[in-house]
């Protein structure tokens, strides 16, 4: 654990963001072979399930507060903290996910524990990469797939993004986290509670995230389910329009929308109205 990490500060920052969730929210603990997974849930217990995965780095399930508020009246919303990443999930010692097969097995166990399936499965950034791999691995478990500015699914990172991220990754500090996020979002006003949570996650005792190649085009062409791909028009993470073109070329049932005036790391918490409108229509389909 890094000397810079303060668990009390992290938990307090997490609670501050969770206060933005609907009042009827509840915490669910799901045992899996890879540890206990923390899930923030809201909405009617008999509502259709909407499962949301956060991005990597300091992102947590708490960041989905805008979507939780929008869809809790009609859906059972489950926002998942990744095992081994910042949040309230707890890895089972050395038995954290190490491969893509482990990740899909972990997520399958979470869905089993929640009784959520077939579900609408969605994710942001790295969480979208996990969601896409799970849909390819277990398509019968996923009714519809929602990808919010996904990374490493259809195109790689921009070189400038990796160069900017490197100092933060090599020597993380709250100041470097803030500077990086302010650069990527173009100085847009970030939610202060959310930003404090990202800073407080610095040094969190996380494990190395599972990485791997982008899904093969042949496998993507066989993905026979509706996919909603929402992309950040101002993303500095990757080439938005290259992602859109490549996804449209390989996914047979994809709806692609570029959200203007929003960057990669401003999502999902700084949700433009178009995001809610498009996702609402997708969920009704």
User: Measured between alpha carbons, how far is residue 211 from residues 17, 35, 65, 101, 163 in Å?
Assistant: 28, 19, 27, 11, 19
Mean of the per-residue pLDDT values for the chain? 95
pLDDT value, residue 57? 83
Q: What is the mean pLDDT of residues 242-271?
A: 96
Greatest C-alpha distance within the chain: 49
133: three-class secondary structure by DSSP: helix
pLDDT value, residue 159? 97
**Which candidate, 43, 38, 243, places its Cα nearest to that of 147?**
243
Q: What is the mean pLDDT of residues 131-138?
A: 97
pLDDT value, residue 1? 42
pLDDT value, residue 2? 46
pLDDT value, residue 251? 98
Q: What is the pLDDT of residues 56-76, one digit of tens each?
A: 988 999 999 999 999 999 999
């Amino acid at each position: 654990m890094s000397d810079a990490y303060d668990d009390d500060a992290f938990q307090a920052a997490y609670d501050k963001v969770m206060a933005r969730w609907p009042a009827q929210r509840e915490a669910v603990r799901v045992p899996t072979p890879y540890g206990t997974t923390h899930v923030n849930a809201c909405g009617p217990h008999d509502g259709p399930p909407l499962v949301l995965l956060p991005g990597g780095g300091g992102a947590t399930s708490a960041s989905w507060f805008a979507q939780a508020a929008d869809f809790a009246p009609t859906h059972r919303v489950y926002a998942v903290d990744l095992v081994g990443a910042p949040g309230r999930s707890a890895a089972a010692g050395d038995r954290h996910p190490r491969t893509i097969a482990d990740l899909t097995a972990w997520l399958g166990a979470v869905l089993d524990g929640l009784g959520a399936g077939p579900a609408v499965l969605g994710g942001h950034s790295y969480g979208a990469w996990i969601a896409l791999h799970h849909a390819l691995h277990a398509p019968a478990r996923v009714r519809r797939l929602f990808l919010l500015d996904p990374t490493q699914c259809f195109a790689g990172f921009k070189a400038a993004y990796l160069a900017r991220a490197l100092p933060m990754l090599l020597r993380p500090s709250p100041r470097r986290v803030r500077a990086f996020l302010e650069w990527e979002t173009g100085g847009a006003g970030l939610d202060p509670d959310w930003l404090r949570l990202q800073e407080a996650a610095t040094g969190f005792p996380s494990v190395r995230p599972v990485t791997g190649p982008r899904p093969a085009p042949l496998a993507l062409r066989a993905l026979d389910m509706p996919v909603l791909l929402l992309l950040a028009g101002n993303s500095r993470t990757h080439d938005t329009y290259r992602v859109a073109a490549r996804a449209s070329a390989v996914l047979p049932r994809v709806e692609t929308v570029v959200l203007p005036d929003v960057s990669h790391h401003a999502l999902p918490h700084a949700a433009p109205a178009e995001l809610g409108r498009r996702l609402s229509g997708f969920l009704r389909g």
